[in-house]
Structure 1
Amino acid sequence: MGKKALVAMSGGVDSSVAAALMKERGYDCIGVTMKLYEKEGGGTCRVGSCCTAEDAEDARQAASVLGIPYYVFNFTGDFEREVIRRFAEIYLKGGTPNPCIDCNRYMKHRRLYQRARELGFDSIATGHYARVSFDAGRGRWLLKKARNAAKDQSYVLYFLSQEQLSHSVFPLGEFETKEEVRELAEKLHFLNARKRDSQDICFVMEGDYGDFLESYLGRSFPPGNFVDEEGRILGRHRGIVRYTIGQRKGLGLSLEAPMYVYEKDLLKNEVYLTRGEKLYQKELIADDFNWILYDPSEIKGAIPVTAKSRYRAKEVPAEAELLPDGRVRVRFQEPERAPAIGQAIVLYEGENVVGGGTIQSIS
């Protein structure tokens, strides 16, 4: 029996080319777009996100060119529960959520993966820029950075289990540039060959995160005080959920020098600003940690790593220590700028992902 692959097709050029490469490798493929969000009273995802009606049509066109079956799976209920609800809960706790990681974790690589297995497919392929390999010496599947460092997406895949890695294929991981992908799409006559990459969160359709949360939760978030490091009131904020750690723009204040959000107190309804010093932290604790390069039983004492505390952050030298309760302490060699509770911390050894988890506390 031949190899079979379910290809997650978002409508973008990356996933379309991934489908083409899987077919070229001899896989019996189907293309699938996940319908994730639909606004009450009508309307789909916002322009610039990854799940508009136009995206589905672009995915359908690419599948037609390739001659592979194409389906749309309705996962709106799962998306509301696993992504939108988590997004709201983390904001309500004062954290900074990462819904794109949750979407990859709970939708693409859990819900869609389960559907693929139910349908008898060996593998699930996506357009992510990352690589998977098996290390026979370690007896473990490894997640590696993409060849294209500028597009590497290993950070958003840190949660993949050994089983999931063994059935995951990322065909774009070996490409050196995005232009190579677009040129291949043009040769295949895909309509999305020059389509811009998606940027926005799909379910925040109008306004900002605060507007969405007020609508979703059916409650308002009252104004409160901006406070500096010395306890002086600098002005009024528009609701505490509208601000994230490290934010500088959009504060609505007239200040002599740039200031940044470094902390929020939900009980006092205060947002604390700094000129920069208090943004830098020496260590953090992460929970829900997934080890990839090592089995946890192999970890003895602190291990040297490089760490990313945000998707766009640079890797910085650090050391990681497995705590008795399964959480992981990460100490940065130099204080790191604006790590935020709720974001992912991902650890690396060279091109290999050591593992990652969710930031629980910072000090």
Structure 2
Amino acid sequence: MKILAAMSGGVDSAVAAARAVEAGHDVVGVHLALSRMPGTLRTGSRGCCTIEDSMDARRAANLLGIPFYVWDFSERFKEDVVDDFVAEYAAGRTPNPCLRCNEKIKFQALLDKAIALGFDAVATGHYATLIDTPDGRELHRASAWAKDQSYVLGVLTAEQLAYCYFPLGDTPSKELIRREAEERGLQVAQKPDSHDICFIPDGDTRGWLSGHLERTAGQIVDESGDVVGTHDGAHGFTVGQRRGLQLGRPASDGQPRYVLSIRPVSNQVVVGPKDRLAIGRIAGGRYSFTGAPGFNLETPFACEVQIRAHADPVPAKAWLRKVSEADRTEQHRAEATHEIVVEIDLVHAEPLLGVAPGQSAVLYIGTRVLGQFTIDRAEAAETMSAVASTLSV
């Protein structure tokens, strides 16, 4: 096959490209320049897509003896990932930019260009597994769950999966990848993994947002609507946050309070006790599926749901339904006509904690990724007690 290897400059993508070459494919390496400041240098495990990463990717390609190019996707990245990130926070949601990057950049913009140039597949260093079945290609978890990255690939469609190539999916550990890189002579063998949001390398999301959103003072209120403090910008808070609230009035029971929700229209931050962060039902739109489910989505079906990249999946039941006006919240997308509803199996799992609108929920059936949706609303687990006994899925 003619394969375009996306080379980030890290050890995973370098080994993925090496394995593609070793398998006999016609491989071309490409590094995506996503930063608007291409001269930025990387600091340890912080930041990515820097000039240093580009140089590391080029050195790896030279060692492998494959052609190498740098494609400038910085404008597309700003529009589809960075601007979306800012808009989501402005609307009181907490987005996952890594999923948006996979959806809009790596497996849309890059994949579209690769197909137009005649490539058969795009190879990346993601830890996930592709299985071809009589009913089509399926996306599954990697063999090493500790490194599994299927969550951030949950936005891929069946059409995109047909052009994907994940050579690392059956590797049981990252240590083996680093050892293989050393044996191949790749200089990135011990390069630290990147962490945090790539375009906020110092990890200070609140400070970064302050430079992109107008800071408007507002009220911090409890669930009854009583004012218990003030804030200088609601975008600086996220659901589940405890530190930095600076409340002027302690809770009546003396217990700490947490952010329960953000109301963008009234510019209020709602706080309450920790047990109110326990969620038994989530729902949302902006959904997609990795392939034909093979069953009626409007009929409740058993599955597992995962709401963070490194969270454990929990048993649940889910179904697709029309959005009623009564269900809409301030964080609900106005254009959503249908939504996926997920009820956590409270008999066999703990409630989800600190669920924020804007987060992505990925649905699994066994190891297979069924699809994903963006959370618009969440209901406290205590309101689900009446139905908990029926959730044997």
Equivalent residues of 1:305, 1:348 under 8 A apart: yes
Matches within 5 A, 1:142-291: 142-204=138-200, 208-217=204-213, 220-252=214-246, 257-291=255-289
Alpha-carbon spacing, 1:240–1:348, altered in 2? closer, same or farther (3 Å) = same
Determine helix, strand or coil for the equivalent of 1:278: helix
For the residue of structure 2 that corresponds to 1:323, the secondary structure is strand
User: Which secondary structure does the structure 2 equivalent of 1:101 belong to?
Assistant: helix
- Contact kept, 8 Å, 2:293 with 2:370, in 1: the verdict is no
SS in structure 2 of the partner of residue 327 of structure 1: strand
Amino acid at match of 2:369: V
From the superposition, tell whether residues 205 and 151 of structure 1 become closer, same or farther in structure 2 (CA, over 3 Å): closer
Change (3 A) 1:312 1:358: same
For the Cα contact (< 8 Å) 2:47–2:200, is it kept in 1?
A: no
Question: C-alpha displacement at 1:228, in angstroms?
Answer: 3.4
Q: 2:340 aligns with which of 306, 328, 343?
A: 328
The Cα RMSD (Å) is 2.1
Deviation at 1:288? 2.2
Q: Which runs of 5+ in 1 are unaligned?
A: none
Give the deviation of 1:214 after TM superposition.
3.6
Aligned to 1:358: 374
From 113, 116, 129, the counterpart of 1:115: 113
- Distance in 2, Cα, partners of 1:321 & 1:83: 28
Separation in 1 of the partners of 2:24 and 2:12? 19
The residue aligned with 2:309 is 311
| 1:263-297 CA-partner distances (Å, limit 9, x unpaired) | 11223322222231211222122212222354476
Among residues 81, 96, 99, which one is paired with 2:97 in the alignment?
99
SS at match of 1:173: coil
Alignment of 1:345 with 2:361, yes or no, is yes
Contact 2:42–2:52, Cα closer than 8 Å, also in 1: no
Instruction: Give the Cα–Cα distance (whole angstroms) in 2 for the partners of residues 171 and 249 of structure 1.
Output: 42
Question: Does structure 1 residue 16 correspond to structure 2 residue 14?
Answer: yes
Amino acid at match of 1:221: R
Structure 1 residues 45 and 355, CA, compared in 2 at 3 Å: closer, same or farther? farther
Residues 204-246 of structure 1, C-alpha deviations (whole Å, 9 max, x = no match)? 25673333334335xx212333333454544333311111111
Q: Relative to 1, partners in 2 of residues 1:253 and 1:31: Cα closer, same or farther, differing over 3 Å?
A: farther
**Aligned letter for 2:340?**
V
After TM superposition, the score normalised by the length of structure 2 is 0.84
Partners of 1:273 and 1:359 lie apart in 2 by 20
Q: Comparing 292-301 with 48-57, which one deviates more in the overlay?
A: 292-301
Say if 1:36 and 1:75, in contact at 8 Å, map to a contact too.
yes
Output the amino acid matched with 1:149: W
Q: Once structures 1 and 2 are overlaid, which stretch shifts more, 258-267 or 117-126?
A: 258-267
- Quote the Cα distance in structure 2 between the aligned partners of 1:106 and 1:244: 24
Distance 1:239 1:207 in 2: 18
Q: Can you list the C-alpha shifts for 1:50-74, whole angstroms capped at 9, x where unaligned?
A: 2111111111111111111111100
Residue aligning to 2:28: 30
TM-score (norm 1): 0.91
Cα distance in 2 between the residues matched to 1:9 and 1:340: 32
The answer as to whether partners of 2:298 and 2:321 remain within 8 angstroms in 1 is no
Amino acid at match of 1:173: G
Q: Secondary structure at the match of 2:352?
A: strand
Contact map agreement 1:293 1:353 (CA 8 A) in 2: no
Inter-partner Cα distance in structure 2 for 1:45 and 1:204? 13
Deviation sequence 1:157-211 (CA, Å, 0-9, x none): 1111112111101111101111000000111111111111111222225673333
Question: Against the structure 1 CA distance between its residues 60 and 249, is the aligned structure 2 distance closer, same or farther, given a 3 Å change threshold?
Answer: farther
- Is the contact made by 2:158 and 2:289 (CA closer than 8 Å) also made in structure 1? no
- Give aligned pairs, total: 355
Question: Is this contact kept in 2: 1:293–1:352, CA < 8 A?
Answer: no
Task: Decide which moves more: 327-336 or 44-53.
Answer: 44-53
Are the structure 2 counterparts of residues 226 and 320 from structure 1 closer, same or farther at C-alpha, using a change threshold of 3 Å? same
